[in-house]
A and B are shown apart, each in its own frame.
Chain A
Amino acid sequence: AQTVTQSQPEMSVQEAETVTLSCTYDTSESDYYLFWYKQPPSRQMILVIRQEAYKQQNATENRFSVNFQKAAKSFSLKISDSQLGDAAMYFCAYLTSGTYKYIFGTGTRLKVLA
């Protein structure tokens, strides 16, 4: 069975600095999707970034980028120029091959210090 591990329960970053959140996953599949979702305090979860496993190029969305290492089964999220509004729970998620079943990690709480 596939698993997703986020080993950092909590991270802190100074405003305007860069932070990297880690995510590793375990799978024997070759075709899958990976996601980072953001859940701000008392607000709805939103998609930050998505990566298709067959694409070698790392996905980028403005200040958010990923480092996708397929062989190492690693999918880290880099947030550049951190802003106060980036403070949230961040969840890494895996979409299994051929299904619409998502597997989420336990989350990393990101604090942004002014």
Chain B
Amino acid sequence: KAGVTQTPRYLIKTRGQQVTLSCSPISGHRSVSWYQQTPGQGLQFLFEYFSETQRNKGNFPGRFSGRQFSNSRSEMNVSTLELGDSALYLCASSAGTVRGNEQFFGPGTRLTVL
């Protein structure tokens, strides 16, 4: 099976712009979670989608949004970018039907906001 893929791998944006990141889960997985990883902060949970519905949400401002398509692919959007949004954004997929199932992570998208 192909692993979790994320595109693009690297992005450079300026303050005020918006950005869309994409995540393709492992075939058959219906749950996709998004995380923001910054040095010293670890991974912060953004949200989780299951079968096109947001099932769980972290404590991020409304500038961070996401969606999931019928093929389970997911996108994350950040509007009005701020310098503090510079981070590695990881997505993880799992079957999503049983709590505690292993999450499989993608390589991440490195976002730099100038």
Residues of A within 8 A of B (CB): 6, 33, 37, 43-47, 50, 52, 91, 93, 95, 98-107
B-side contacts of A33, CB under 8 Å: 99-100
Tell whether B48 is near chain A: CB-to-CB under 8 Å.
yes
Within 8 A of A (CB), among B78-96: 90, 92, 94, 96
Q: Which residues of B approach A to under 8 Å, CB–CB?
A: 3-4, 31, 33, 35, 40-45, 48, 50, 55-58, 90, 92, 94, 96, 99-100, 102-103, 105-108
A95 vs chain B, min Cβ distance (A)? 6
Q: Which of A6, A44, A101, A105 contacts B45 (CB 8 A)?
A: A101
Cβ distance B88 to chain A, nearest Cβ, rounded Å: 10
The smallest beta-carbon distance between B20 and chain A, in angstroms, is 21
Nearest CB in chain A to that of B4: its residue = A44
Q: For B33, give its contact among A37, A46, A102 (CB under 8 Å).
A: A102
**Main SS of the interface on chain B?**
strand
Chain B residues with CB under 8 Å of A104's CB are 35, 42-45
Contact of B50 among A46, A100, A105 (CB under 8 A): A100
CB distance from A109 to the nearest CB of B (A): 10
Q: Which residues of B contact A101 (CB under 8 A)?
A: 45, 48, 56-58
Closest-CB distance, B91 to chain A (whole angstroms): 11
Known: A45-B90, A91-B43, A107-B42. A102 touches B99 (CB 8 A): no
A98, A105, A107 — most chain B CB neighbours (10 Å): A107
Q: Given A44-B3, A44-B105, A52-B100, does the pair A99, B43 have CB atoms closer than 8 Å? A: no
Contact between A100 and B48 (Cβ–Cβ < 8 Å)? yes
Contacts known (A100-B31, A100-B55, A101-B58); A95 close to B99, Cβ less than 8 A: yes
Known: A44-B105, A100-B33, A100-B55. Is A106-B45 also a contact (CB below 8 A)? no
In Å, the complex CA distance between A104 and B40 comes to: 12
Closest 4 CB pairs of A and B: A104-B43, A106-B42, A45-B105, A101-B56
